[in-house]
Amino acid sequence: MPTTQQSVRYLQIVFFVAVFMYFTQSITIPMAFGLLVAIVMAPFCQKLERWKWPRSLAITACLAIVFLIVAALVTLLVWQLDEFQKEVPKITTKFKENWPQIQEWLQFRFHLTEKMLDNWLIKTGSEAGSKIGAVLVGTFNITANLLFNAFMIPLFTALFLYYRGLIMKFLYELFGESNQKLVYSVTHQTVQTYHNYIKGLLLVYLSVGILNSIGLAIIGIEYAILFGFITSILTIIPYVGIMVGALLPISIAWISYDSLWYPLAVVAVFGVVQYLEANVIFPMVVGSQLKVNTLASIIALFIGGVIWGVSGMVLFLPFAAILKVIADHVPSWKPISTLLGPAET
């Protein structure tokens, strides 16, 4: 059982690691994603090498597969935006036709006069114009960050795959020859953990797609299954994905029905499903695949969000599972293993 002094030391280490991760996230986030992709692709890379492929060619093939998946996502995103752009003239016309109805509802609901609404529109328009510069700067920063990660993640992935033998040798020498079997067991289970993580993510997106489709079908939106699963797939892209995925079904609802409540109902469906996905489906499904209990999964999501934002929410769940694997093999870490493991019945 660890002494009080050891416990304090562990807490200090955890604190300094968290601070380090927070202030170095521009490089540690793409490194962590690169490690994630490398671990997922490692079995395929090893299989190609057993077929006498040169390691560099096997790594190139792995990166090509990842590139094709990302390219498919980007193509889907661009197609969704293009389809929405085609509907913009109809949406504008529809808005002009329904503005008197919207104006009347606002006046009744919030006790606003027509003059107050006109002043609000003028003020909103002028403020929007003044904020264009800030929006452009924000867009530029996001684009630059995406381009940086698009370069760094494949680079780290290739390096981790190429030097995986050297990394294993380093771990063997670090923990001593007597612990070689233990190190191998932990790393093997770590690879299995990440595979389970990807399997859990696929189940999450399948569940979200089904829930989106059911919600849109209940409202009466055409092509509910198509829109439901497209929106689910696009949620892989943080922030932008869900917004772009929702644009087309919202615009279809706006054009197809005379009532404003239909597009609002579409927003409500996606909002409820996203809430369930973040707080119920993701922790339960992915947590069960990673053999981490729901409470620990939610805490990992919260801590990851605080330190690394959305990227942390994606990465910290497998981090918790790896911590569980290590704690299972280290006697002094048994309390951590118990805390992360399944609930006692």
Residue 132: what pLDDT? 47
Measured distance CA(135)–CA(9) in Å, rounded? 45
pLDDT tens-digit profile, the chain (345 residues): 555 666 667 667 778 888 888 888 888 889 988 988 888 888 889 899 999 999 999 999 999 988 898 888 778 767 777 776 776 777 677 767 766 766 666 666 666 666 666 666 666 655 555 554 554 454 445 556 667 777 888 999 999 999 988 988 888 888 887 888 888 888 888 887 777 777 788 888 889 889 998 998 898 887 788 888 888 877 766 556 677 778 878 877 877 776 778 888 888 998 898 888 878 887 888 777 777 888 888 888 888 888 888 788 778 888 888 888 888 887 777 888 888 887 654
Count how many Cα atoms sit within 13 Å of the Cα of residue 97 in the half-sphere of its side chain.
12
Contacts of 238 (CB under 8 A, 6+ apart): 310, 311
pTM over 0.85: no
Is the Cβ–Cβ distance between 270 and 242 less than 8 Å? yes
SS3 of residue 316 by DSSP:
helix
Among all chains, which residue has been given the structure tokens 């695949």? 289
Residue 6: its pLDDT value, please? 61
Name the residue among 147, 129, 136, 276 with its Cα closest to residue 204: 276
Residue 116 has a pLDDT of: 66
Report the alpha-carbon distance of residue 251 to residue 267 in Å, rounded: 11
Closest CA to 73 of 231, 203, 270, 276: 231
